[in-house]
Structure 1
């Protein structure tokens, strides 16, 4: 039986010349005969991202058993909608969602093919160049509705609440059945956590693979701080939306209190934007389709709130 194809889906915005080395590295670290396609969607970059990639394609295609698709959005959609666009163009049976500035460990494809199952999301282990850091998926922080790294270690595979966007693998059929990333999330923040929680509640498993390393080049601290400042109002919106989708009424009140105290200058605008959205229709839809209640997930992972208390 032929091995299934793998589609590596990458959203990109203002990534310049970083994409070509990423593609080359991923292609060269395979150890199986699986065909791999790269689906790149440029999120309305204002630099030379597409030009750099197109110029590199003839050389990249000399790598055996790869194909490359390049698509461009004319208006910025944000990381989650761009990931959905990339997935919609993919033809492989398996989706490996990642970023434009990563390196995969040798034999990544063999690990994916061995551990993946029809109702399973895999998380790669996050590494940082030149650092001993390892992130074995992420934990959920409540009422912040953000994430923290699970520092493991993990020998083999283990259940984890959240798979990070740059290291998320699943059957394409499962991605489609889950509905992709929440299109109500704006630009950046909370979308990867919401997707993994939704996968859990709809009956899938999320598992981190200890040996599947994804070396990720994170933004320098000053660049990251400026970026977060630019997207903070949208990020707060996304976290509140995330909480409204899954938390109890008391949990939602706790979350709102947290954000009103932490970000009083941005809170009202974010809350208004959430209330003007489809959040309550979306919650009703999710509750109709989920097989597990949110409390099941809390109990399964023994989740506590950020103060170490019970989640209400």
Structure 2
């Protein structure tokens, strides 16, 4: 019997041991964020309990919970690109208990908040930003919840680490793994959609530094938060004040003189601007999905550079206040105001005294007029932030504007990102939202906005997704500081401003970077029709010279298309571009054909095999064909400057202007311009100084009765149906 008892005891103890192991494995599995099970842990109302686990050789701590019952649920699916890793581990795991909601607070340097964000229904936790709520959180917990509580007035530049120590392709792979860059295109990720760019980056040996990955086994994974809609003001707003909530302000007839004086002074209604609060509220213009996005806690900081010359007092101050009031303080390293040799007295000592109230604001004064391009370079030279953010001096930042910009750069340092530009009416100062648009240009290289092409609409899953843009307007953007200089900063051979935005756009795309407009980051901008300051050599001449430098460096075999628009520039000097060509070679940049194929396929290439080009002068009325607007083609006095009067006639008979071809205008006898791939494109026969005969209809291109438009009419051999081109090509 004794041996049998021993055998039974051994069997019993062995069974209990295996049962204990199973229980421990079950608890370990169910409390893992990767688990699909849930475990309910009972807590007494006066009990505190620490839950700890080992993760990636590092210690991960879940905050002490003080509730009757807390449910730890499954990890949120990775397919949701808006949910960060640690949010799934921490915030996504915490749900309502019997006594209410578990609050995981975040510490901020400012207490005043507006527009608390809605939470996910499936997460049901409440994110607040109140200093007083942190009283029950110990110091260790406080560090976990509020990793961004830095001393922002510290002047030493922080060492560059984290994501900046890894290569571009490593960053992309890491982002996809972490679920922070999972933008799909036809079933593929955002990175796969950029395969041609990624392959190019791999081929450019040494053009982008390969650095140590940021999240090694010894570091904790990043933590995330919802966007903080900060809107702090120095005093309560008057809800009925002029222009409040972005409303327009109408003036009375008695104020007409002061309004006119303001326009002469500023090229916008300075009188109305001065009536509006420097800290006015603006209406919500972000897509709804933006409030559900999450951003890493350890975002890089930024230096905000605002250049100005003879700027109006109220618009300049409103710009600065909107940055300070609506930006997380820990993310703003400094604001540098670069005064480009302003002469107005209020921009001297009064401005110094006003800005002395804000420790982060610095004023750099230039001893002579430099222009926007060189002024920005001077500001960048003294910047200490990890990221450079350039703003115009007459803008209003929307709530939540900064974090989306820094997040995209944190994910990939070679991105150049821009806020969506809302419009502030130059007359009434009404704040109006903008639609889904991207930056573009034609063969004259003048920037303009266009609607999104079908390929981009298809790639983006919703209206909050970043927009890949072939070009940027240039006034407002953020860029990694080291990448800015590695990429060649600005062309120092350019004057004042004009063309630098197209140059930066081409250089970024062709040399390994990318450009995006972020609908979740919004800034209102006053769009002026004229500039209140002077260009030393005139604005047109300055713009054309700058643009020539872009053409000579970046357009390669497509340069003749630009000069067909501006034939008079062939003999003009544009300065020495040897250093920019050397930069292009050093960075192993792609050619312009690659840019057209991969970035901007919507830019049609005109038929370069032409029989005539230049101005097209009607012999009968001595006026030239002119694309004056988006309407039908008109006739205007010849000016010999190309531009809207630069046309070509291909050997196939197509009448072309830039990338557009002539065709019927709205089923009338008039002639318009449209995509050269349109179904009904005119085809002309032309003999030197003779008629332009449309092949299909056998009609001639003539002149309307008012002599302002061209029309197709029965051929009669009159002088009004004869045309002389600027250049005939043999």
Q: TM (normalized to structure 2)?
A: 0.38
Assess if the C-alpha contact under 8 Å between 2:333 and 2:384 holds in 1.
no
Q: Report if aligned partners of 1:245, 1:283 keep a CA contact under 8 Å in 2.
A: yes
Whole-Å separation in 2 of the counterparts to 1:243 and 1:26: 36
Secondary structure of the 1:128 match is: strand
Q: Which residue of 1 aligns with 2:562?
A: 255
TM-score normalised by the chain length of structure 1: 0.84
Q: Secondary structure at the match of 2:604?
A: coil
The question of 1:279 aligning with 2:577 is answered yes
State how far apart, in whole Å, the 2-side matches of 1:22 and 1:285 are. 35
Aligned to 1:150: 450
**CA distance 1:32–1:71, change in 2 (3 Å):** closer
- The structural deviation recorded for 1:258 is 1.1
Unaligned runs of 5+ residues in structure 2 are 1-146, 149-297, 425-429, 458-462, 606-657, 661-675, 678-730
For the 8 Å contact 2:338–2:363, the answer to whether it is kept is yes
List runs of 5+ in structure 1 lacking aligned partners: none
TM alignment of 1:52-201, pairs within 5 A = 52-59=350-357, 61=358, 67-116=360-409, 117-129=412-424, 130=430, 131-134=432-435, 136-142=437-443, 144-152=444-452, 154-201=463-510
Counterpart in the other structure of 2:195: none
Contact 1:124 1:136 in 2 (8 A): no
Q: 1:51 aligns with which of 349, 360, 363?
A: 349
Separation in structure 1 between the aligned mates of residue 303 and residue 354 of structure 2, nearest angstrom:
19
Query: In the alignment, is the contact (CA less than 8 A) between 2:491 and 2:580 conserved in 1?
Result: no
Distance 1:135 1:70 in 2: 35
Alignment pair present for 1:215 and 2:524: yes
Kindly report which structure 2 residues correspond to 1:231-250, keeping only aligned pairs within 5 A, or say none: 231-249=539-557
Structure with max Cα Rg: 2
CA contact (8 A) 1:127 1:135 kept: no
CA distance in 2, matches of 1:146, 1:115: 27
2:284 matched residue in structure 1: none
Larger helix fraction of residues: 1
Shift, 1:34, TM fit = 2.1
Structure 1 position 196, deviation (Å): 1.8
- Report how far residue 135 of structure 1 moved: 7.0
Size of the aligned set, in residue pairs, is 292
Deviation of 1:20 (Å): 1.9
Question: Partner residue of 1:15?
Answer: 311
Please say if residues 5 and 35 of structure 1, whose CA atoms lie closer than 8 Å, have aligned partners that are also in contact. Answer: yes
SS at match of 1:124: strand
How far apart are the structure 2 equivalents of 1:10 and 1:225?
Answer: 17
Compute the displacement of 1:291 (Å). 3.4
Give the Cα separation in 2 of the matches to 1:273 and 1:77: 20
1:30: which partner in 2?
Answer: 327
Greater Cα shift, 288-297 or 239-248: 288-297
Q: Is the 8 A contact 1:139 1:147 kept in 2?
A: yes
Counterpart-to-counterpart distance in 1, 2:366 and 2:438:
30
SS of equivalent residue, structure 2 residue 360:
strand
RMSD of aligned alpha carbons: 2.5
Q: Distance in 2 between matches of 1:23 and 1:286?
A: 36
